[in-house]
Structure formats: structure tokens, C-alpha cells
Amino acid sequence: MSDVNRNKLGILIVDDTPRNIQVVAGILNREGYSLFFATDGRKALELAGKRTFDLVLMDVMMPGLDGFETCAQLKRMPGYTDVPVIFLTAKTEPGSILKGFEVGGVDYVTKPFHSSELLSRVKAHLGIRALTKELQETNKVLEHRMDIVDRFVMMLSVNREGVITYASRAFCRAVDCDREELVGKNLRDPAHSDGQCRIIEDIYELVLKNGRFDGEIRSRTPNGTEHWFGVNVFYFAEDIKATEYKIIMEDITNRKIVEKQSITDDLTGLYNRRHFSRVFPEEIGRARRDSKILAFAMLDVDHFKLYNDTYGHVKGDEVLVGVAKALETVMKRSGDHCFRLGGEEFGAAYMSNSTENALAMAEKLRQAVEDLRIEHKENEAGPFVTISVGVHLVDFSTAPAFDEDSEAWYRNADKALYSAKHGGRNRVSIYCPEEILDSGGPSAPAELPADFGAFPGRQPTPGYHES
């Protein structure tokens, strides 16, 4: 400890014998400390009320307030909880020493004492005092920073069992959940599917299946409002066995709104072909990583040119908008994507846990448009506006090596769409060759009847069956 620092350290010596004060002061003066004196307990407390000392040397046997009572009152004064008090005493009985510790003393030196012993103990406790103050200041800074994090950073802590151990105020605001609704609950709790807390379902997938993640996820509220979040899932420490995951999130919805303007179809509000080309490769990678079934469906409004010729282009635009909204009512999950690919052609990309569910989703899309019941007199497939659907899907749990780019998926779905139109329209046709699913080998042959299963819609009676 430098002389400059020592000059700033104040030591209070309390003893009713002036000669003892002189001896102690003589030892400490050589070290450059700032020394203060009191000959009884009350004067010591008066001095302590005017400034905070860094250490107190306290005689035990004094008239009036003895050293024990003076120390007890001193410890109750503001700023003195952590100030070390060393007792100077001739009493060496265990009971007397124990009482000194009970009232707040940290050490004792027996009289008569050696100067080296007294000085060593003073230096040791001043060093501890300095470290304590430094730690307290550091804690204040950390508390302030943690408060900033709590208020402005979306953060979750989750243990290995999936139980939420911490949720920042910023996260709770963003997902419209109270902290009490989250902390202590498991990510698998179905209650989280209500409200904006629905995003926790996606976080559950990221944490318990992938362990680590750095990217973006999309979530929807039950009313269909879209939210985007940048998400980073990581272990808090790299050099020890992790017991908790940390999830840092950022609401990037506004940025995505701006981005979406460049990748969105002006008429329908759906994503455009440019966005399909950008996002679909990511979906292929995600499906492969999660061993899911990925489906891409192309949808075409049946006899749309005849509709425009009969009802006019304004009505035709209204049909396209209506179709888009119908598709969005079905595609509400965070990983679902809808596109307007051009003209009367639309696209849908989604994941599924089974082939049956993937095909059922395609049928729901077809049915949603037919349920609009928009009159179309020139439609050979029915009295209303309908769509034909071509689907290409791959089960990456059985074909992890399957490797086709997004344009190949587009072409295969287009072939399936051609088959749906050729088979009578208003139906779902599937491009799903067994050799591709089993081996992850080359593309299917171009012989359409061998590669497709056709799933008609309501023609003329309701039903969904394989032909």
C-alpha cells in the first residue's frame, strides 16, 4: 500500500489511558496513517458521527461505556457495518474474547503487545477493508448494469430440465407475460401457448433440441400478428459443465417490417418470389437439422384468366387478395411461409412430423380457398373459385443426405401442380418418389404418372382420397 493511500486511511484509537494512545500512535505514525484519538466511548462515537474511519483500535476496559458497548453502538451507525474494530485488551479469557466478536469486533491484540504484531494485524485488516470496499463498489456497478440488462435486454435462463430460472423485465414486456407466469415453469408447459408467450414453444425447440442457436425466429400471436426475434442460445461458461442455458433475444419486428417491404408482394402482402429464393434454402437446412418433413406446395387459381375475362381485372385482384388471406388463415405457425410467386401462382412452405399431416395441410389450403365461395361460372372444377395444388415433400429423418436446391424443389412442385391440373383441377397432387426418400439419391424420372399421387378436392361431392 503506497504512502499516498495510507495518508487517506483514517484510524481511530480509543483508550482511556493517554500513555497507551501515545504508544499506539508512535507505532502507526511511522506508517503514515491519519490518526484520531478518543479517551472514552462517548467521544469515540461523536468522532465517528462526523466521519467514517477505516479502522478502530478499541480498549476494552474504559469508564462509562466500555469497549464492548462502544463497539456495539458503533456498528449500528451508518457506514460502520464493515469497518474493522480491533480490541486492545489485557483480558485473555475465552468468554471476553468471544464477547468481542459477538459485538462486531474482527480481531484482538493482548496487552502488552509487540509493535510488529499490532502493525501486522492493522495492515491485514486495512487490506481486507480495502478489498471489501472495492468489492462493494464492483457489486454496485454490477447491480446497476444488471438492472439495465433486466430493463432493456430480453433474456431467459433455462436449466437442463427446461425450467425457466430467470426472465428479464424486457422479455416479459415483449411477450406480454408476467414474470411470475414464467419463472419456475417448464418450457413445455402448454399454458405458454396462450398470448405472445407462444414464442416460448419455439425457444423450447431451440434449447432442448439444438442446445445452441444464433439466428432469427418468427412468432405469431393467436390473432395472427407476426413478431420477429433475433435469438442467441448459449452456455453461460465454456470452461465448466453448463447447468443453464442463456437465451438473449432482440425484438427485430420493426426491422423486419422494413425488410419485408422489399420482399413482399404489393397486392397481397405475401412474400414474393425473391424471398422464396432466399429463405427456402434456410428451411431445407432447418428441416435436415431437425429431421423433419419439409413440404413445398405450389398453388394456382383454377381458370383465373377466364375469371378475369368474365368479371374484370379489379375483381380478379380481389380474388388474389382473398386467396392470400385464406392461405394465411391456415399457415399460422411460426415456421410456416406463404408466397405469391407471380400472377395467380402462390407457394407455401411448411414442416411436419408426418407425411399424412403434410398432405393434410395441403388439403386445408385447398379447402380454405374453396370455402371462400367466390362465384366463378367459368370454372370447370366447380361453381366457386378453387385452386390446384402441387406438393413436393422430403422426410429428412429417412433421407438426411437428400440434396436439392430450392429451384429443384420449385420445379418438382410445379410438375405436381401440372399433374393436379391435368387430373381435373381443384385437387392436391404429390411429387414424392420413394427412391428419393429412401436413398437420398438423384431426382425422380420425368414420367409423371409413376411419380404422383393425386388427391382430388370436392368434385362433385366432398371428399379427400387417393386416386
Catalytic residues, by residue number, are 344
CA atoms within 13 A on the CB side of 95: 0
Q: How is residue 408 written as a grid cell? A: 429443384
What's CA 152's distance to the chain center, in Å?
13
Q: Where are the beta strands (DSSP E) in 170-303?
A: 213-220, 226-235, 244-251, 293-301
Yes or no: say if 320 and 265 are a contact pair by the CB < 8 Å rule: no
CA distance 296 to 362: 9
367-385: burial string, b at 16+ Cβ within 10 Å, e else? bbbbeeebebeebebbebb
CA distance 169 to 145: 14
**Which letter does DSSP use for residue 198 in this model?**
G
Among 64, 57, 21, 12, residue whose Cα is nearest residue 40: 64
Yes or no: say if 105 and 58 are a contact pair by the CB < 8 Å rule: yes
| Torsion sign over Cα 346, 349, 355, 361 | negative
CA distance 88 to 63: 15
Q: In what order do the strands lie in the sheet with 452-456?
A: 337-342, 345-352, 293-301, 387-395, 427-431, 452-456
**Which letter does DSSP use for residue 195 in this model?**
G
Quote the crossing angle between the two packed helices 313-330 and 304-311, to the nearest 10°.
Answer: 130
Q: How is residue 257 written as a grid cell? A: 417490417
CA distance 228 to 251: 6
Residues contacting 80, CB < 8 A, separation 6+:
48, 52, 74
**Which letter does DSSP use for residue 280 in this model?**
H
